[in-house]
Amino acid sequence: MSILKRKFGRSGPELTILGFGAMRLPGFRTGDFEGHLEGAVQLLRRGIELGINYIDTAQLYDAGHSEIAVGQAIQGVRDRVIISTKILPNLVSSADHFLALFDESSERLQTQKIDIFYFHGLYWKQFTGQFASMGLLKTVEKLRAEGRIGLLGFSSHDQPENIGRLVDTGAFDGMLVQYNLVDEANAEVISRAGKKGMGVTVMGPVGGGRMAGTGPDFTRLVPPEFGDAPALALKFVWSNPDVTSALSGMESEAVLEANVRTAGKFSPLTPVGQTEVAALKKKLDKLKEIYCSGCGYCLPCEENVNIPGIFSLLICHQVLGAERYAKDMYRLIGVLPIIPGRDATACIECGKCEDKCPQKIHILDQLKRTHELLTK
């Protein structure tokens, strides 16, 4: 089964609509990077074997071990795979420092050329401030002239209007932004980027895992012809013609194979399908209030508060209507092995988790709200 490919921008390479997001490989969930390296390499190779030709990683993921895993996986098949990696401008102190970090990434990836290089988590304020004063664009241009970077892009969690400003600079060949069934805030900038001939890759196509079976199961809300919730979520993203590729953070062979099957039989949403999806989106609207993807970036909490577990129960209560279940499970946090840790009352409000949340959730307020709701 072959996977549809789309051109990354006007002149870029063709990427499979399903990309392999290596953000949680090799050992994000356990912290045991070395121990899971071989398994991660095998999983990435299996993805390539199944026809995926685009893998995204970053210097920051698993403290560089994600790049190491990708670097090992592409040995012998480098010409079949498009690689992107990213460096966080916040961590860069000068152009020379950037070059040193770039060298390290290239070494870990064991490649002479990064096909697509993204500035990681770029904000407009940064781009016009510290970024400009260090002359990072010029530095990247130099790397491009030397053939060490193919295309230049940015990833961003900035406000859509600021992402639009980054698009309008004309400095980038593409961008990586969040977009999915429950969050279309970037729909307009994606269209704008498409019109400008930029490639658009999407992070969190299945809501960062919220619709992927790691959290509450949304499948029972999904009309049967769409299959399950992750399949519908991917179909929704790919039905946007300005999206080049959706990056799914696949952590198991089962999820990988399911996504490849979904990609292999993809056809855009029909008008009837769009109507059904619009109805479903209304039901999912409440998710916007609590945008927890279950990613776990807010952890560890020194007080062992099970932040993603608690928010997963909030979603069960608010979106899926499983009120009794959510309340019972909340009571059993720390008692049942499937929901370890402590409930919201253990929070000492140190605030360390909030800065780490990519969804900018006001974790402290939401923990209090969830506790009230689930103990009424």
What is the binding site for ligand SF4 (CB under 6 A)? 292-298, 301, 303, 305, 307-308, 311, 347-353, 356-357, 359, 361, 363-364
H or E element at residue 117: strand 114-119
CA distance 49 to 45: 6
Cβ-based nearer residue to ligand SF4, 5 or 368: 368
For residue 233, how many C-alpha atoms fall within 13 Å in the half-sphere facing its CB?
A: 31
Q: Shortest Cβ distance from residue 267 to ligand SF4 (Å)?
A: 31
Q: Shortest Cβ distance from residue 311 to ligand SF4 (Å)?
A: 5
DSSP string computed for 46-115: HHHHTT--EEE--TTGGGGHHHHHHHHHTTTTGGG-EEEEEE-GGG--SHHHHHHHHHHHHHHHT-S-EE
CA distance 263 to 52: 10
Q: Shortest Cβ distance from residue 211 to ligand SF4 (Å)?
A: 14
Q: Shortest Cβ distance from residue 369 to ligand SF4 (Å)?
A: 13
Q: Shortest Cβ distance from residue 294 to ligand SF4 (Å)?
A: 5
Query: What percent helix, strand, coil does the chain show, rounded to 5?
Result: 45, 15, 40
Positive or negative torsion for Cα 56, 59, 63, 64: positive
Nearest to 11 by CA among 244, 189, 237: 244
Cβ-based nearer residue to ligand SF4, 52 or 310: 310
Cβ-based nearer residue to ligand SF4, 4 or 346: 346
Cβ-based nearer residue to ligand SF4, 174 or 204: 204
Alpha-carbon torsion, ordered 241, 191, 243, 66, to 10 deg: 180
Residue 5 bridge partners (DSSP): 16
Cβ-based nearer residue to ligand SF4, 166 or 295: 295
CA distance 310 to 292: 10
Q: Shortest Cβ distance from residue 289 to ligand SF4 (Å)?
A: 13
Cβ-based nearer residue to ligand SF4, 10 or 360: 360
